[in-house]
A and B are shown apart, each in its own frame.
Chain A
């Protein structure tokens, strides 16, 4: 695999991003290493090619934002909005992730080995998120489609105003959000969990997870609902 190194201490993210926006044919199969990221924002945003990117340290806001096709590994932690609005591909955070990890992701797989902050998977639109640790409050807020797997605990208001996304939690749920409910695990859930955990490289028994999905009571205006939403 052809390798190329970008040192962010020398020139910042612009040369890196411009390179990554080159023709897909020229990028396919390449491995790009990002040295000295030091929490820089907007590392490797808007990729549109099956390229491999390794960030050798901590990333700032919106790392791998709107990713398509690329396979990104962040060896440190990631700031707010890692893999936000991802369309496809994979983003793997080996450390922790801050707020809004995987926000509005339409596709692809986001794996966070550590914990994730507030609003993980907010407005999720079809992407998959696997968190090895715990997630903060308001995770899965208004999530429309896709799946979240949380191997640790969840904070307050998990899955508030959920649409059709499904959240699996192994640990404790501090509280459920409006319209979220715990449902029994079905065979399809076990299959999904097995595949997602395997894709994330995590060892857990799928049967230990709880399924959280929408009760769908907020799908239509209701004069008698006392407007608790």
Chain B
């Protein structure tokens, strides 16, 4: 009897040893660092890029974007149908999806439970209101789920991607873990959270039962390193493998790192930098002043000085890469003479004093623009605020934020972005304009015919630029520096926040 056990154990150990000897030796840990802190790993509360880097890989959503594109495809959903009137969305789910940490198989009931948890007033997720157009969620069978809307909403599928309302969380685990769910989440994604120390690091381990297959890199550690120098030094002496989304890194440092053999990956995140203004108050209520500002801006210099060269000039309200983005809009090229002329026409012979509100992340760009405006006689007075103050003042809508450089990534459908900027009822942290284009935006939102909808947005963009209600500046590239052995990074575009870590591998 005992001999059999011993033989079995020996055989087993040989098999295991063989298994590890046979395959390629995967270096098993990837260390990713970034300068800011994560706030939570709960999909229904996460907002920052650092949060999303993890959330994106811990959960799945009904829809996702095909890698390196902005094209929608199914994630948890295998097939989907939209009714002709645009009110009913039916999704057929994959059947081989397993929850992490032993929570069984995913069914349509689980998906409904996730959305119920999101919309439950008790949960108080800040994103609950984003699904206000959903009248009812029905479970037709264990693998079919149906959303019934109260009015057509063209970008609905985009909402169901892995951001804000989209992540499918395990509602039972959320209930059981309570507040601890923020750092010990349960999803269906390719990585599960092994350990999380707030403000320091999150350790992810590959979830082998993931329906998409076994991730190549076994362990991923994300760490917060608030100092750029320390980050660079750590990369150079082997402590870290990737500096993620390093927008503040100077061009000369990137050059040096490249020369030492590191790889710099950059891609579009559909991330625009724009100048937003309150066009209902003096002096920006005069279109000549706004045109002057537009002509005063040298986009190449902005890119060279504040983005280390990683950007492309952009002149349209809808960011490049979005549905209905177009370049057929009035353009205001760099022309300081014309700018000065327009100011004189507007009655500002001796120049103009213009307050500008700046929040820290936009500081360098604001400095560059302020200097460019100074050259044409617009004396900018910068009010430097930190993000919480800036956002609070925007939300107060008292006009105290009247001129600012801003950004903001959204899903690649124009409704999210333009509504945030120009709709009084739907506008959020970038509603500075003071205008209300809700009527046009609502019509476009409800239009179910794709081509018609595109034309509506093209017309709207032309109108915005004719009146210079905002000044688009550049499309910025996201940049990451990493060890050359790392493969699988996006090359053209990353339509969602974060990175798909399951596509990464070490050469």
Q: Does A associate with B in a complex?
A: no
